[in-house]
């Protein structure tokens, strides 16, 4: 694992090639003042190609959201230039305010400031259903 | 928010044992009416009907009144705060200060779930759009149990619009939990059950078949559940005209039926059951409405923690 350029911070590794930019945007990394590096299409023995994001600061991560976007990501925590710990992500059981229900008949389409909650119903197929109307979320697979 | 009581949002919130318990209480209400006259004295049921459904609302209100409780509420969004743009959460949080239990109907799917997250008062889903209507399913189960003596070991025919009728889907899902129920699905090709129901039937290992005419299976049935075939479900007038008579139950079609057939219908009926059938002892759809009141009484008692 290459943590070059990070003294104290986070390295997101094994991101599916092409999803790096999505995660960059979701985490609002452009708002950070520390150094941030995104590597695209890095050769990987395991996945063929992958993206890597290096952040030279220990920021708060939204694991629910990261796990939903790509559950294969490895999160490496670096302190004083050394790898402190490694965490593997998983598909979260519940998603709160990460995706929106698209069913026009769903109460979430009219109720003010309601949390959009989805439940994982099939881990293998990555199927999430709206907690209110039970309609499956189709956008992301 | 800590909840002392439960809600009924979907029929799957209830285990088979809990359904059995509700049925037992509903039967006890008939056998020992005196015990129930004042049992909910001082308790209030709020019926929040964001869309009108007179039949369901009256059934809930009659149930609460018969238990000695009182009722308050509104019917139709135009007469309610919702017309002024108030959210479900705000309405329910307010009403939760006045009532001990809430029965709620709303055109949007999942509205009762939203309500249940915002109040400690038990919420009964009295229909949320095309999503769930669990007290209708409980009504159907009580009717079948009373008429047949058990919920297993029967041949259940479901006839008419099996595609859009949520009542039918919930009933199939509920009946799949009992042993040896044979399902006979009677519908035109355009109105057959959706694929997910077919998938559940396959997975369950239950005996089931799909047919297009009532006559060919009438003699097999123990229960015949009729539903309305609506004109707007068809692409053209010709198809509707051709099919609608096929799915109207009349005395002639009943000739080959069993002596103890139970004919059910969630009501309101339009023309799918001939009025002449009403006097036949096998017609149970008005009795079904009575069962609806009894099971709602049992449910109110259960959710209030009384029985
Ligand atoms: Zn929804």
B83 CB neighbours in chain A (<8 A) are none
Tell me what the mean pLDDT of segment B245-260 comes to: 94
Same domain for B260 and B203, yes or no, is: yes
Q: Where are chain A's structural domains? A: 9-88, 94-137
Q: Is the pLDDT of residue A3 over 70?
A: no
Q: Is the pLDDT of residue B119 over 70?
A: yes
Q: What is the domain extent for residue B215?
A: 135-289
Rounded distance between C-alpha atoms, residue B146 and residue B158, angstroms: 18
B173 pLDDT band, cuts 50/70/90, is very high
Rounded distance between C-alpha atoms, residue B8 and residue A131, angstroms: 15
DSSP state at residue A96 = E
Same domain for B158 and B96, yes or no, is: no
DSSP state at residue A98 = S
Residue tagged active-site, from B43, B47, B56, B139: B56
Q: Is the pLDDT of residue B124 over 90?
A: yes
B128 CB neighbours in chain A (<8 A) are 107
Could you please report the per-residue DSSP string of chain B? ---SS--BSSGGGS-HHHHHHHHHHHHHHHH-GGGGTTTTTT-EEEEEESS--HHHHHHHHHHHHHTT-EEEEEESGGGSGGGGT--HHHHHHHHTTT-SEEEEEESSBTHHHHHHTT-SS-EEEEEETTS--HHHHHHHHHHHHHHHSSSSSEEEEEES-TTT-HHHHHHHHHHTTSTTEEEEEE--GGGPPPHHHHHHHHHHT-EEEEES-STTTGGG-SEEEE----GGGSSSHHHHHHHHGGG-B-TTGGGGS-TT-EEE--S--SSSB-GGGGGSTTB-HHHHHHHHHHHHHHHHHHHTT--
Collapsed DSSP state (helix, strand, coil) of residue A1: coil
Within a domain: residue B180? yes
- Report strand pairing: A48-55 vs A36-44: antiparallel
Within a domain: residue B115? yes
* Domain A9-88 = CATH 3.90.650.10: no
CB contact under 8 A, A132 and B106: no
Q: Is the pLDDT of residue B2 over 60?
A: no
**Looking at the 3D structure of chain B, how many domains does it have?**
2
Q: What is the pLDDT of residue A36?
A: 92
Tell me what the mean pLDDT of segment B127-152 comes to: 96
Q: What is the pLDDT of residue B81?
A: 62
B76 pLDDT band, cuts 50/70/90, is confident
Tell me what the mean pLDDT of segment B87-114 comes to: 95
Beta bridge pairs of residue B104: B48, B125
Indicate which CATH number applies to the domain containing B34: 3.40.50.1370
Question: Which residues have a Cβ under 8 Å from the Cβ of B245 and sit 6 or more positions away?
Answer: none
Residue tagged active-site, from B44, B133, B228, B307: B133
Rounded distance between C-alpha atoms, residue A45 and residue A65, angstroms: 26
CB contact under 8 A, A105 and B113: no
- pTM of the shown model: 0.88
**pLDDT tens sequence across B194-219:** 999 999 999 999 999 999 999 999 99
In this complex, is the C-beta atom of B52 within 8 Å of any C-beta atom belonging to chain A?
A: no
B82 pLDDT band, cuts 50/70/90, is low
Angle (nearest 5°) at CA B18 between B14 and B24: 140
Quick one: which H or E segment has residue A45? none
Q: What is the pLDDT of residue B78?
A: 67
Q: Is the pLDDT of residue B243 over 90?
A: no
Provide the ipTM.
Answer: 0.86
Q: In Å, how far from its chain's centre is CA B43?
A: 25
B250 pLDDT band, cuts 50/70/90, is very high
> What separation in Å is there between the alpha carbon of A100 and the centre of ligand 1?
8
Tell me what the mean pLDDT of segment A59-88 comes to: 91
Q: Is the pLDDT of residue B85 over 90?
A: no
Query: A94-137: what fold?
Result: SH3 type barrels. (2.30.30)
CA atoms within 13 A on the CB side of B120: 6
Q: Is the pLDDT of residue B53 over 80?
A: yes
Within a domain: residue B1? no
Q: What is the pLDDT of residue B265?
A: 97
Min mean pLDDT across A26-40, B82-96, B149-163, B277-291 is at B82-96
Rounded distance between C-alpha atoms, residue B49 and residue B102, angstroms: 10
Same domain for B277 and B146, yes or no, is: yes
Within a domain: residue B6? no
Question: Which residues have a Cβ under 8 Å from the Cβ of A110 and sit 6 or more positions away?
Answer: B108
CB contact under 8 A, B108 and A109: yes
Same domain for B261 and B168, yes or no, is: yes
Handedness of CA B126, B128, B134, B136 (dihedral sign): positive
In this complex, is the C-beta atom of A109 within 8 Å of any C-beta atom belonging to chain B?
A: yes
> What separation in Å is there between the alpha carbon of B114 and the centre of ligand 1?
11
Q: Is the pLDDT of residue B141 over 50?
A: yes
Q: Is the pLDDT of residue B1 over 60?
A: no
Within a domain: residue B196? yes
By C-alpha distance, the chain B residue nearest A113 is B87
By C-alpha distance, the chain B residue nearest A111 is B87
Residues flanking ion ligand 1, Cβ below 5 Å: A 101, 103, 106, 130, 132-133
Q: What is the pLDDT of residue A141?
A: 44
Q: What is the pLDDT of residue B80?
A: 61
In this complex, is the C-beta atom of A118 within 8 Å of any C-beta atom belonging to chain B?
A: no
Within a domain: residue B139? yes
Higher pLDDT, B85 or A63: A63
Q: What is the pLDDT of residue B190?
A: 86
Within a domain: residue B168? yes
B6 is catalytic: no
Helix ranges (DSSP H) in chain A: 20-26, 63-69
Integer Rg of chain A from CA: 17
Tell me what the mean pLDDT of segment A4-25 comes to: 90
Tell me what the mean pLDDT of segment B136-160 comes to: 97
Q: Cβ atoms within 10 A of the Cβ of B52, count?
A: 14
> Across all residues in chain B, what is the average pLDDT?
92
**pLDDT tens sequence across A120-141:** 999 988 899 999 999 999 865 4
């Amino acid at each position: 694992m290459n943590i070059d350029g990070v003294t104290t911070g986070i390295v997101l590794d094994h991101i599916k090639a092409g999803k790096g930019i999505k995660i960059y945007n979701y985490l609002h990394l452009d708002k950070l003042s520390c150094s941030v590096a995104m590597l695209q299409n890095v050769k990987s023995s395991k996945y063929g190609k992958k993206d890597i994001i290096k952040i030279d600061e220990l920021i708060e991560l939204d694991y629910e959201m990261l796990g939903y976007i790509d559950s294969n990501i490895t999160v490496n925590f670096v302190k004083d230039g050394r790898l402190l710990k490694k965490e593997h992500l998983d598909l979260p059981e519940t998603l709160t305010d990460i995706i929106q229900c698209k069913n026009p008949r769903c109460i979430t389409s009219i109720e003010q400031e309601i949390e959009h909650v989805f439940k994982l119903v099939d881990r293998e197929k990555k199927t999430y259903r709206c907690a209110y109307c039970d309609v499956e979320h189709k956008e992301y697979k | 928010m800590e909840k002392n009581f439960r809600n009924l949002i979907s029929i799957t919130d209830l285990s088979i044992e809990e359904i059995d318990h509700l049925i037992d209480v509903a039967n006890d209400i008939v056998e020992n009416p005196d015990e129930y006259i004042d049992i909910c004295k001082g308790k209030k049921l709020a019926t929040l009907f964001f869309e009108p459904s007179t039949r369901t609302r009256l059934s809930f209100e009659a149930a609460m009144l018969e238990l000695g409780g009182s009722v308050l509420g509104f019917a139709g969004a135009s007469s309610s705060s919702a017309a002024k743009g108030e959210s479900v959460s705000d309405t329910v949080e307010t009403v939760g200060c006045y009532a001990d239990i809430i029965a709620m109907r709303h055109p949007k799917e999942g509205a009762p779930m939203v309500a249940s997250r915002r109040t400690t008062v038990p919420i009964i889903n009295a229909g949320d759009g095309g999503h769930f209507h669990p007290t209708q399913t409980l009504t159907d189960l009580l009717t079948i149990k009373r008429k047949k003596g058990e919920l297993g070991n029967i041949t259940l025919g479901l006839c008419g619009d099996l595609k859009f009728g949520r009542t039918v889907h919930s009933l199939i899902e509920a009946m799949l939990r009992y042993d040896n129920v044979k399902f006979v699905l009677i519908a035109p090709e355009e109105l057959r059950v959706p694929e997910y129901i077919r998938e559940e039937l396959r997975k369950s290992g239950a005996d089931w078949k799909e047919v297009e005419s009532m006559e060919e299976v009438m003699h097999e049935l123990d229960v015949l559940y009729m539903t309305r075939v609506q004109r707007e479900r068809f692409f053209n007038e010709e198809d509707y005209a051709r099919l609608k008579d096929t799915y109207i139950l009349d005395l002639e079609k009943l000739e080959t039926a069993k002596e103890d057939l139970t004919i059910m219908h969630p009501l309101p009926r339009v023309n799918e059951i001939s009025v002449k059938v009403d006097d036949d002892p096998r017609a149970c759809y008005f009795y079904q409405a009575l069962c609806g009141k009894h099971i709602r009484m049992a449910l109110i008692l259960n959710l209030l923690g009384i029985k």
